[in-house]
Structure 1
Amino acid sequence: MRRSQLALLLPSLLVLAACGTAPEQRTAPAPVVPVVSVAKQAEANLAPASASIVSGRLVLVPDARGVHITGTIGGLQPLQTAAFHVHERGDCSAVDASSAGPHFNPANQPHGRNSAGAHHAGDMDNLRADAQGRVSVDVRLPAVTLGGGAATDIVGRALVVHANADDYRSQPAGNAGARIACGVIRATR
Structure 2
Amino acid sequence: MSRRRFPLIASLVALAACSQSQDAEQTGNAPLAADNVAAAAESVPLLDGSGKEIGRVEIGEDANGVTLRLAANGISAGTHGVHLHTIGRCDGPKFESAGGHWNPENRQHGRDNPEGAHLGDLANISAGSDEATTVFLVGGVSRTGPGNALGDADGTSLVIHADADDYKTDPSGNSGGRIACAVLAAPTS
Same fold (TM over 0.5): yes
| 1:77-116 map, 5 Å | 77-78=76-77, 80-113=78-111
Whether contact under 8 Å (1:77, 1:129) holds in the other structure is yes
1:45 corresponds to which letter in structure 2?
Answer: P
Aligned-pair identity in percent equals: 34
What does residue 120 of structure 1 align with?
118
What is the Cα deviation at residue 117 of structure 1?
6.8
Question: Matches of 1:146 and 1:40 in 2, distance apart?
Answer: 11
Structure 1 residue matching 2:184: 3-state secondary structure: strand
What is the Cα deviation at residue 128 of structure 1?
0.8
- The correspondence for 1:146, drawn from 140, 143, 148, is 143
Structure 1 residue matching 2:100: 3-state secondary structure: coil
TM-score by length of 1: 0.69
Question: Matches of 1:167 and 1:143 in 2, distance apart?
Answer: 23
Deviations 1:77-106 (A, max 9, x none): 23x100011100011124200110111000
Gaps of 5+ in 1: 1-37
Matched positions, count: 147
Aligned Cα RMSD in Å? 2.8
The structure whose Rg is larger is 1
Whether contact under 8 Å (2:39, 2:62) holds in the other structure is no
Structure 1 residue matching 2:97: 3-state secondary structure: helix
- State the structure with bigger RCO (CA 8 A, min sep 6), 1 or 2: 1
1:56 corresponds to which letter in structure 2?
Answer: G
- The correspondence for 2:133, drawn from 133, 136, 143, is 136
Which structure 1 residue ranges, 4+ long, deviate > 2 Å from structure 2?
38-44, 51-55
Deviations 1:20-76 (A, max 9, x none): xxxxxxxxxxxxxxxxxx964333311102x69782101111123211111411112
1:177 corresponds to which letter in structure 2?
Answer: G
Whether contact under 8 Å (2:105, 2:118) holds in the other structure is yes
